Structure 1
């Protein structure tokens, strides 16, 4: 306690140690500007690192169990309980999943601008818990309302979708902030902790898939064989525990102080407006003449048009923030623009992985789901996707990274873009395989085993290890320092884009063709899969072209 009191009295002239302070004194504190819960410089030995990540990963694990307990089997609930059509249910699932990955933009904005990551997670996790309570309670409504009542049926449907979209809102503050808060626990100025940060994203994704595994096996089985009320009550209780665990770790977290001044999105908007207003001005030959406060920001020559936002105007001119911006602000916008071609490649990838919660489950319903003495729920086939992730993450971290590091010289083994590209290629192969399985099912005189789907799920799991984790690391690493939550939100926004794209493609296919009828034996789902494989191949070519031109 005496040491803690002494630490609190330490003057906060600067978080980074300055000469002539001894090196031992400097090494006691983080060098990246993080503070503890009392807004004092964070001590390395008592805050952050993996000890803090266990609390964050615990909360993320409980959120993932809830999310996948709903999403893995939602299409079954919509078709069997709410009696929606195959295409209608598939579109509604994709739209809801898209919303779950669209709301992180809201959470990231609040975290980077006003609340910070910890408070944002706390508020949205509470909303999430309330949404799960409504979802679990809504499952009992059919027992309380008359079965033949249209009004009762409508009330039940409204309650289900209210709970669903409260969950979608709640997840918006968790998904972008938990990954960023976890990465904040590692000192970016310490070489050892910097390598541990790269490993954190692998294990962050690993914990997500542990939660997914429990949902796809235990909870899906409970929902199909015991009842939806218990199947949703279990994750509701778990998310309550997750909230308590997250709050319990607050004293050992490292916190990134919010930047002074306006919000990150406001600063980016100011650059766009100022550059447009100064579009007729000539850029100076000497870039040091551009406006900057304090320490000069490293200037880049790409996207030079936006440098016009930092042209110092003649003194009679008004120099408000919407007319004159700093080079730092301009470089923030440039960093986001450099990431945009990579981001544009990701929605197609996530439209492919969205098949695991939509058309592949419907395909599984048309296959023989008896495996020996067991009856396998179609939604549980996603277990192979999860097992693939759980196997590939340790192999990637322990085997592939050290081997590739010797060849490439990269600290990470593969560059982030190489990792994403490998995932895009695997997803293309998975769709081609799914098309071949469906073609064989339609041509077969006898029913095919549902286990024919297992390799497709496994390959898609490997694709996620490469593309999804690579994307998370890329957007966190390449985002401006004041926009790390927004960088994580961009990754979630790509997933939302993929879900909405899948919903739009399903709607277009349903209206223009007869490929996906309610009776799949009368359709050609294989044609849809071939279409997705071709779209993925074109997307891969576009990504390769953009990645070769990308500049850090």
Structure 2
């Protein structure tokens, strides 16, 4: 009887997932919340490492290594930009060669090593310049090439590890829930919010406990704690390897995308058949390779359909080179990725705004009154209000907003991912508006007290004036991050899930790099002819408020473009038989009920939760 229950097909998870040994995954023994909890803990530790570095690195670069404000800001944004750019590399390796489990283990170990090296480099006096003599910055000895080299090695090892872990951990977590099982699919609805809640808890610990340790005890311990935590989580992750559900690598997604474009170009002069069923397709799912699902033909981007035109002279299309003829499923996978790109491009600006919270907002705080009695708040700890905004609005979304919208719209997830993103973009714009107004007030107070030319002077204005910009960015991130993560994972092909997560994370990368470019351009255009420019080392002589106004205007324009792209986006939905199809009607994203209509006034849901 026990053997019959264990071999009952209904116990096996769907979607071509296996256990550790390559056998069909048993729902009763693998996956679910136990496996997901270990994965969530790994992400929490990863976030402790990254935020523990990025949130307070600018104070170390300026205060210990004696770098300028703009150079310090650019090092931080370049580090974060590279980290998220390398998430594409990690996603590519997982999808094509390693699988998500091996990728997390390998790159998690690299991340722990990188943070360990950073702890060493910030602890040894031989890797730091001597302290400044007096209070005059011009007498500060700059960091040597050897010191900067050690810093860069540790930072970019961390970036390689953290970026590759991040591109796989969310996808691997969602693999632990069976979308065909009603009980497990219901749990998946909450996985993304809880995933981000763990990110927030790791960030909260970093900007409070770790930042305090770094400023008051030592950076060696401040970086050593997250390094040890990551190493422990990788070990724990390995110990429970038999509890996970695995999805076999389906081959290089980049190669498959290239094959479709090359085949379509080869057939560009040929006419499409009037009946799409005459296009090339494998008859059996097994022929498509592991981890892939049949996708129905859609009437979008028909130019790519030419890659599947069957030449009558072909004896067996299935045996032909994929560089000459592709299948409908391969073409539809490429279409799904291409459809993501317009939305992807408008998500970049949010992270440019976010990068200011890690850089210039911290430098603002350094010039303001941070005292609470005899205790002085570390400048980087103001980011606790970012985390507070994230935690509050994530909880509000899960406990109040989603249930309310679910009852109103009838959709399981309550609001669509694009609606979440739009809220996040709007709040980031308001955050920069608030930042510009507060900075103008800070400059006015500095002028009134004749502190404009005193670089290290503390302006008599409370640091609490900065809370709105931190809180608004946190609130925006609660919507934008969850919405983007959900959108890119659910709207991408199953076989390219890790790569699609990397595509999402690349928006963060380009957002940070865009900030670096903006800072460089603004310094170059405004800091010449004897003018200190908008972003000098002495912020009391600069016009940081103008820079914030520039970001406000750019955010507004970006939001308008996003609304246009969102209005015409067509969600890819699950259909019967494990296939996917794309609804052939325009997205009514801003519609009050979140619904769209086909001819005949038949109301249809525009979005289906996985």
Task: Quickly name the TM-score band, shorter chain normalised.
Answer: over 0.9
Which of 146, 155, 158 is the equivalent residue of 1:155? 146
Structure 2 residue aligned with 1:479: 492
Q: Is the 8 A contact 2:70 2:537 kept in 1?
A: yes
| C-alpha separation in 1, matches of 2:204 and 2:563 | 32
Matched, 1:546 2:565: yes
Residue 314 of structure 1, CA deviation? 3.5
Q: Secondary structure at the match of 2:85?
A: coil
Question: Offset of 1:411 from its aligned partner?
Answer: 1.1
Greater CA deviation, 177-186 or 358-367?
Answer: 358-367
Change in 2 beyond 3 A, CA 1:297/1:220: closer
Q: Does 1:299 align with 2:297?
A: yes
1:249 maps to 240
Distance in 2 between residues matched to 1:486 and 1:312, nearest whole Å = 30
Aligned to 2:543: 524
Correspondence for 2:267 among 265, 278, 281: 278
Q: TM-score, normalised by structure 1?
A: 0.93
1:191 aligns to 2:182 (yes or no): yes
Change over 3 Å in CA distance of 1:89–1:324 after alignment to 2: same
Indicate conservation of the 8 Å contact 1:58/1:246, yes or no.
no
1:310 pairs with 2:308: yes
Deviations 1:122-178 (A, max 9, x none): 110111111112111112332478849999832222111100000001112210110
The CA distance in 1 between the partners of 2:222 and 2:229, in whole Å, is 12
- Separation in structure 2 between the aligned mates of residue 144 and residue 341 of structure 1, nearest angstrom: 45
**1: distance between equivalents of 2:209 and 2:356?**
21
- Distance, in Å, in 1 between the alignment partners of 2:101 and 2:162 is 14
Aligned match of 1:534: 553
Cα separation, 1, equivalents of 2:142 and 2:380: 30
Alignment partner, residue 206 of structure 1: 197
C-alpha distance 402-63 of structure 1, shift in aligned 2 (>3 A)? same
In the alignment, which residue of structure 2 is the partner of 1:13? none
Q: Equivalents in 2 of 1:199, 1:6: separation in Å?
A: 29
**Alpha-carbon distance in 2 for matches of 1:455, 1:194:** 37
TM-score by length of 2: 0.84
**1:255-274 aligned within 5 A:** 255-259=246-250, 262-274=251-263
Distance in 1 between residues matched to 2:546 and 2:557, nearest whole Å: 17
Q: CA deviation at 1:297?
A: 3.8
Q: Name the CA distance, whole Å, in 2 between partners of 1:91 and 1:153.
A: 18
Contact preservation (8 Å) 1:198, 1:473: no
Superimposed CA distance per residue, residues 492-532 of structure 1 (whole angstroms, 9 cap, x where no aligned partner): 11100100011111111111111111111111101110110
Equivalent residues of 2:127, 2:146 under 8 A apart: no
Q: SS where residue 497 of structure 1 aligns?
A: helix
Moved more, 139-148 or 243-252: 139-148
Match of 1:20 in 2: none
Q: Is the 8 A contact 2:122 2:128 kept in 1?
A: no
CA positional deviation for 1:40: 1.3
Q: Counterparts of 1:281 and 1:144 in 2: how far apart (Å)? A: 65
Deviates most, 182-191 or 367-376: 367-376
Q: Which one of the candidate residues 104, 110, 116 is aligned to 1:133?
A: 116
Q: Does structure 1 residue 458 correspond to structure 2 residue 471?
A: yes
Output one character per residue of 1:343-394: Cα deviation in whole Å (capped at 9) or x when no partner: 0111101101111111111111121111333211111100001011112212
**What are the equivalent positions in structure 2 for 1:314-393 lying under 5 Å apart?**
314-315=312-313, 319-393=320-394
Cα deviations by residue, 1:37-80 (Å, 9 ceiling, x for unpaired): 11111111221111101111111111111111111111111111
RMSD across aligned positions (CA): 2.0
Structure 1 residue 248: deviation in Å?
2.0
Whole-Å Cα distance in 2 between the matches of residues 225 and 384 of structure 1? Answer: 21
DSSP 3-state at the match of 2:368: coil
Q: Is the 8 A contact 1:403 1:413 kept in 2?
A: yes
* TM alignment of 1:90-169, pairs within 5 A: 90-143=73-126, 147=130, 153-169=144-160
Maintained 8 Å contact 1:58/1:245: no
Counterpart contact for 2:421–2:479, Cα < 8 Å: yes
Deviations, residues 251-307 of structure 1 (Å, cap 9, x unaligned)? 111111223xx4221111000111111111111111111111115741111111000
Quick check: 1:183–1:197 contact (8 Å CA) kept in 2? yes
Count residues in correspondence: 533
Alignment of 1:418-433 (within 5 A): 418-433=419-434
- CA distances 1:390-442 after superposition (whole Å, capped 9, x unpaired): 12212211111111112222211111111111111111111100000001111
1:88 is aligned to: 71
> Contact 2:346–2:562 at 8 Å: present in 1 too?
yes
Deviation at 1:535, TM superposition (A): 0.6
Q: Is the 8 A contact 1:141 1:156 kept in 2?
A: no
Match of residue 39, structure 1, among 7, 15, 22: 22
Deviation larger for 233-242 or 293-302: 293-302
Structure 1 runs not aligned, ≥5 long: 11-24
Q: Tell me, yes or no, if structure 1 residue 515 matches structure 2 residue 534.
A: yes
SS at match of 2:13: coil
Residues 347 and 498 of structure 1 are in contact (CA less than 8 Å); yes or no, is this contact kept in structure 2?
yes
- Tell me the equivalent position of 1:449: 462
Counterpart Cα distance in 2 of 1:110 and 1:542:
33
